[in-house]
Amino acid sequence: MTLHPGVLLAIGAGILVCLGLLFWPRRGLISLWKDLHLNTSRTRMEHVLKHLFNAENLHRKTTAKNLCIRVGMGLRKTQALLNRMESNGLIKQDDQGNISLTDEGNSYAIRIVRAHRLWERYLADETGLSGDEWHQKAERLEHTTSPEQVEALAAQLGNPLYDPHGTPIPTVDGVVGPPQGQPATSFAVGEVIVVTHVDKEQDHLYSQIQAEGIVPGMQLRILETSAQRIRFGSQDNEHVLAPVVAARIIAMPLPAEQIEVLSNETLSSLQQGETARVVRFAPTCRGIERRRLMDLGILPGTQVQVTLNGPFGDPKAFLVRQTAIALRKELSNLIFIERTEGAS
Amino acid sequence: MNNRDSNAEDILAQAASLRWELGEKVHETLMESIFEEAAGIANDVVSHTGQKAKVWDRSLDWLFTSRLTGFPIMFALLAGVLWLTITGANVPSSWLAWVLLDTVHPLLKQGAAFIHMPWWLAGVLIDGMYMATAWVVSVMLPPMAIFFPLFTLCEDFGYLPRVAFNMDALFKKVGAHGKQALTMSMGYGCNAAGIVACRIIDSPRERLIAIITNNFAVCNGRWPTLFLISSIFIGGMVSSPLLGSLVSSGTVLAVMMLGVLFTFGVSWLLSNTMLRGEASIYSLELPPYRPPRFWRTMYTSLIDRTIYVLWRAIVFALPAGAVIWLLSNVTMGGETLAVHIIHWLNPFGVLIGLNGVILLAYIIAIPANEIVIPTVLMLTVLTTGTAGVGAGNGVMFELSEGDTAALLHAGGWTLLTAVNLLLFCLLHNPCSTTVFTIWKETRNLKWTTVAALLPLVMGLLTCFFVAQVWRLVAGGVTP
């Protein structure tokens, strides 16, 4: 049998394209099929429980209409799901159509929320996935993790208190602690805050914060708050943001005794031969990164000096405790410093 | 009793509430104070000398890492090491070949005849197993014994971390670690050694990338194939011998560079698909320079390498030798097994621009790539029935370049076959030693399978597409 090479070429290319369509990560048919498979009635029910739990924490009322979008079903199907949940004793519906959790429903919801936040924490600390993927991945994993697995995960992570967004992780007994930080709009003029988290969910707001160069770990003084604008200041910089935008910045107040100089300089800005003292790590420097830095002896209080610039400017080598250690810009951006004079 | 219980519960409840107050920084605060204390003690009792050494270190660092001098020094050193290995290995290699293949082998055969050993037993033991083992030792040992001590000297001196430092910006672009430049260079000596060296990469994702892509560095077992084929088919196209050798070295270099390109491409692909979720962290220690301990390094690496090569030859090449001999001597319906398999593989081989002999040789040579060329020659004689060449069925042999060329042309080889063999030599499954090492280093079936099959699939695809485009351009139709 003889085939023209052009035909063979076309067949080969065709097979490659087919394989690509099948196996392409996240968009291929196989992963789409897996997504579809995940959308069972139990997952939908668990999503409803989670939504109710969050809404009740914010003292918001929920009706069947609110839930339609959330579970991606029409009103009639949603109502049918809710009725089934009511007969299972998970929720209560009153005459106005307001839905609330029963005790049983509440503890079920807490279990799911705990699994979700623990998974987010795990993905943030122990994997290389980016921030926007933690939530999506945890959203799937929470439904397939047994309570025993959840507890094993918590033990492995050292029973963390907060998820990577600073939201408290409910304990096994269902205790929910205070959140780590509040919106930057909730502080008074003159207070000093440290940014713990920047909400990325609304792109146009996030890009404004990004343009101002505000990142987790920065210390800022509130200079002015009004309905029109909020003014922040650091040592040598001023940022002005609209309140809607500023509300996406989550921050904690800084105790008065911890306020030294509001230095927001990072290790990456240090030039050859210059010395500095490490003052803190950004909260986004977490998990394996943070542990590695500490293993290398880079901690708050440590003296560092730039000894060597890479041929392309990155990485840079730093002299830490008599040892030269090269770090990339991504990591040295997360280490806040205070310049010191002369040799260490 | 009851009282005690409620007390315990109170304490637990209080502890739980205190946890929220303490926050998550307890461990870090503890660690900070331990470090502070230790640093204080060290400051009091340790005194530092050696200002002179520091100045020396600084100037060396400048020399090795500045944009102007860093890269020329690096490439000159790599080229020098490779050149020393290739030219330096020729002498001991031919000496070992003379002893093991030309002297001991006939002696063993005579001995076997003297004690009336059955011909098939002598065949399996001496022509098969002994021959393959001896071949692997004579090809592999000398380059290993030169390449790795040189490498160790550079490492002892403290130069290698600077290479990783220089190359990092480049490797970072594809999601890999600068130290991969080192594991890759070691791969030019031996992929299994390169993969063991990946331990120096302390970031999980980058380490896996380096392990999986190490096979794209052409190891010394594959060099003879590259040199021979490019000199016969590519260099042979040019009439002047001087220009010819220049062209053929250029071809070998091109294949190596293609390997570097594949390393970067596949690293990028892996870091963006399969390995996206793996944790990644970068740090690199730059130790002070130290004068290398020359004789000690030479002695230990020579002993280490010899033991390693012998172990590999015995564990992997010995059975391969038996398989080769049996395949070419056991007959079925009047033809040897090898011929049956070659006929069966041939249509597929021709489709991807190779042939059945090459495919069978690569299957047999999975344990050791060193024996690809002698196996190809032996199998070609077996299938073409060329008289007066070779040493009998299942006995590997070597020929002069001219005779090899004549034999391969008789076997139906074209320029396309040669080009695709060069590509396939770069892109095929790692040898069984390497696969075994990957398994030992990762202890993960998935990554071992990926590392073994990914280059093979890429090689088959590349050969297939090159063959079709070649034929399309040449205007031919597949036979």
> Which of B35, B57, B454 should we substitute to test contact with A (largest number of A Cβ atoms within 10 Å)?
B35
- Convert the pLDDT of each residue in B345-373 to its tens digit: 999 999 999 999 999 999 998 988 888 99
Q: What pLDDT is attached to residue B3? A: 62
- B-chain CB neighbours of A173 within 8 Å are 16
Q: How confident is the model at residue B172 (pLDDT cuts 50, 70, 90)?
A: very high
Token reading at A309:
């610039």
Report the candidate in B171, B87, B120, B194 with the shortest Cα–Cα distance to residue A328: B171
By CB atoms closer than 10 A (0-12, 13-18, 19+), residue A313 is exposed
Determine contact, residues B327/B339, Cβ cutoff 8 Å. Answer: no
| Residues linked to residue A308 through DSSP beta bridges, in sequence order | A317
For chains A and B, count residue pairs whose Cβ atoms are closer than 8 Å: 140
What CA–CA distance (Å, rounded) separates B354 from B114?
43
| Residues linked to residue A194 through DSSP beta bridges, in sequence order | A219, A252
Token reading at A343:
């040799």
- Are the beta carbons of A310 and B168 separated by less than 8 Å? yes
- A-chain CB neighbours of B66 within 8 Å are 311
What stretch(es) of chain A map to CATH 1.10.10.10? 41-101
- A-chain CB neighbours of B16 within 8 Å are 171, 173, 175
Distance to chain B for A309, nearest Cα, Å: 8
Distance to chain B for A21, nearest Cα, Å: 14
DSSP 8-state code for residue A269: G
Compare CB distances from B285 to A16, A177, A325 and report the shortest one's residue. Answer: A325
> Which of A1, A4, A284, A305 should we substitute to test contact with B (largest number of B Cβ atoms within 10 Å)?
A4
Token reading at B303:
């002993």
- Minimum mean pLDDT range among A296-300, B314-318, B388-392, B467-471: B388-392
Distance to chain A for B172, nearest Cα, Å: 9
- Which top CATH class is A267-340? mainly beta
Is the C-alpha dihedral spanning B36, B37, B38, B40 positive or negative? positive
CB contact A61 to B (< 8 Å): no
Determine contact, residues A236/A228, Cβ cutoff 8 Å. Answer: no
DSSP 8-state code for residue A315: S
Rg, chain A, Cα only: 25
- Convert the pLDDT of each residue in B10-64 to its tens digit: 888 888 788 877 777 788 888 889 998 998 998 899 887 767 778 888 899 999 9
Phi, psi at A291, each rounded to 5°: -65, -40
Q: What pLDDT is attached to residue B177? A: 94
Q: Which CATH architecture is the domain A41-101 placed in?
A: Orthogonal Bundle (1.10)
pLDDT along chain A (344 residues), means of 10: 81 91 82 76 87 84 82 84 89 86 91 93 88 84 90 90 86 82 87 84 82 85 89 83 89 76 83 91 87 91 91 91 92 91 56
Phi, psi at A194, each rounded to 5°: -120, 130
Compare CB distances from B469 to A9, A313, A328 and report the shortest one's residue. Answer: A9
Compare CB distances from B279 to A128, A314, A322 and report the shortest one's residue. Answer: A128
Average pLDDT on B282-290 reads: 91
Q: Which fold has domain A182-258?
A: SH3 type barrels. (2.30.30)
What CA–CA distance (Å, rounded) separates A66 from A71?
10
Phi, psi at A328, each rounded to 5°: -85, 160
| Residues linked to residue B284 through DSSP beta bridges, in sequence order | A326
| pLDDT of B1 above 50 | no
| pLDDT of B215 above 90 | yes
Compare CB distances from A9 to B172, B288, B468 and report the shortest one's residue. Answer: B468
| pLDDT of B170 above 70 | yes
Per the prediction, chain B carries an average pLDDT of: 89
CB contact A189 to B (< 8 Å): no
What stretch(es) of chain A map to CATH 2.30.30.90? 182-258, 267-340
What CA–CA distance (Å, rounded) separates A12 from A4?
12
What CA–CA distance (Å, rounded) separates B24 from B190?
47
CB contact A175 to B (< 8 Å): yes
| Residues linked to residue B300 through DSSP beta bridges, in sequence order | none
Determine contact, residues B329/B393, Cβ cutoff 8 Å. Answer: yes
- A-chain CB neighbours of B277 within 8 Å are 123, 127-129
CB contact A74 to B (< 8 Å): no
| pLDDT of B278 above 90 | no
What CA–CA distance (Å, rounded) separates B58 from A311?
15
What CA–CA distance (Å, rounded) separates A174 from A107?
7
- Are the beta carbons of B461 and A300 separated by less than 8 Å? no
> Which of B49, B202, B468 should we substitute to test contact with A (largest number of A Cβ atoms within 10 Å)?
B468
| pLDDT of B5 above 70 | no
- Convert the pLDDT of each residue in B58-116 to its tens digit: 899 999 998 899 999 999 999 999 999 988 988 999 999 999 988 999 999 899 999 99
- A-chain CB neighbours of B25 within 8 Å are none
Higher pLDDT, residue B385 or B367: B367
Q: What pLDDT is attached to residue B2? A: 57
Average pLDDT on B287-296 reads: 89
What CA–CA distance (Å, rounded) separates B415 from B236?
11
Q: What pLDDT is attached to residue A201? A: 73
- A-chain CB neighbours of B281 within 8 Å are 288-289, 292, 331
- Are the beta carbons of B165 and A331 separated by less than 8 Å? no
Instruction: Please report how the helices B372-384 and B337-351 are oriented relative to each other, as an axis angle in degrees rounded to 10.
Output: 100
- Are the beta carbons of A315 and B169 separated by less than 8 Å? yes
- Are the beta carbons of A2 and B478 separated by less than 8 Å? yes
Q: What pLDDT is attached to residue A260? A: 63
